[in-house]
Amino acid sequence: MFDFREILLEYSKGVMKLGELIFELLSEALGLDRNHLKEMDCMKGLLMLSHYYPPCPEPDRTFGTSQHSDISFLTILLQDHIGGLQFLQNGSWVDVPHVPGALIVNPGDFLQLITNDKFASVEHRVLANRSQEPRISVAAFYVYPLPFARVYGPIKELLSEQNPPKYRETTMTEYIKFYMARGLGEKSALLQFKI
């Protein structure tokens, strides 16, 4: 049996450093102080999930993961060479190719909410595994940690008469309850929180 604990701990440290840099760059891209998103606790919690997709004997009759966007502020995904991840772009599904050594960075629903649509979450899905070997991925989700009590809404510094708030304030708890109750689907859960 192989012990992944040390590898996962080391990987999570690297992902936290990368996340810090990304949140600094996103803050600057919004015209805010480089620590603005960090100070809003956007990277306070890190949830990591490993996914294992076995070979599928009938991939044309099976679906992997339904269309959805992530609840997080940001998701960093490490995927293997098998592929299967697709993003929705201009109404069409586009394969995300494997690039050795590359990570996929995906804005989540809460980043879209707090930036008032400056950064949009990305609708994606995973196809059934057509390969003869298992597909493995590791997703790192930046979320506000339990008990999810902090209230989030559009960042005040980004609002104006020309750019009024598009979303109401909410907690991650309220958002997750709605997201989970409705299930994965074609329409974004953010629509429920639009003003």
Query: Where are the domains positioned within the chain?
Result: 5-193
With tokens 């809003």, the residue in question is 40
pLDDT attached to residue 57: 86
Query: What does the alpha-carbon distance between residue 119 and residue 111 come to, in Å, rounded to a whole number?
Result: 7
pLDDT digits (tens, 9 = 90+) for 73-123: 999 999 988 888 999 999 899 999 889 889 999 999 999 999 999 999 989
Residue 164 zone, left/alpha/beta (φ > 0; ψ -120 to 50; rest): beta
The stretch 47-51 carries a mean pLDDT of: 89
- Assigned CATH for 5-193: 2.60.120.330
Query: Do 145 and 160 form a contact (C-beta atoms < 8 A)?
Result: no
Burial of 47 (0-12, 13-18, 19+ CB in 10 A): middle
